[in-house]
A = this chain, B = another copy of it.
Amino acid sequence: MYKLYDFLPSGNGYKVRLLLNQLEIPFELIELNILKGETRTSEFLAKNPNGKIPLLEIASNIFISESNAILFYLAQETKYFPQDKYEQARVMQWLFFEQFSHEPNIATPRYWISVLQQPEKYREQIKQKQKLGYAALKIMEQHLKTSDFFVANKYTIADIGLYAYTHVAEAGGFDLSDFSAINCWFKRVQSQPRHILITDSELGK
């Protein structure tokens, strides 16, 4: 059985949990608290030298890290990844957009504000990140004005990858009320079979 090393408030972890659930793949969840340094122990660094969750162990001592690489691994030959080569590249394009232009700017303010609960300490950095984060949201909004989903008008791992941190962006101080296409897309994502919520344990609940 797969083992998933994860920290429940993580949007990156949520991507993998959501897809595993939608694929009905059972897995053992091994919770690590990144706030307590549990991903920086020598034991964990031997599994993932980059010291990050999520980490998927697909067989004894066989690991895949990087949330979007895990999505790619799990989704191949399922309906969550297109068969057409160009559409596959477009999925990867949006997933790289997510990791480069979106996640660092949208997930990080949420981490500072809602996970660490130190908005004052990071006030200046939050301002800079939000500017870049809104730019990423505008690109998504523009795309979703004419498309139900990110690629080939079908729900794929591109949507899972982008949904994870976008739908909790308000916890990072973003105001999504003017992003009507994104809000409609949220509903389409949430109505997919076997959708699950980012865990209730997030945000310190």
Contact = CB atoms under 8 A, between A and B. Distances in A.
Nearest to A139: B49
A93 B69 contact: yes
Q: Copies of this chain, how many? A: 2
A69 B86 contact: no
Interface in A68-85: 68-70, 72-73, 76, 85
Contacts of A72: 88-89, 92
A120 to B, nearest CB: 20
Chain A contact patch, size range: 20 to 34
A15 to B, nearest CB: 12
Interface of A: 49-50, 58, 62, 64-70, 72-73, 76, 85-86, 88-90, 92-93, 95-97, 99-101, 103-104, 139, 142-143
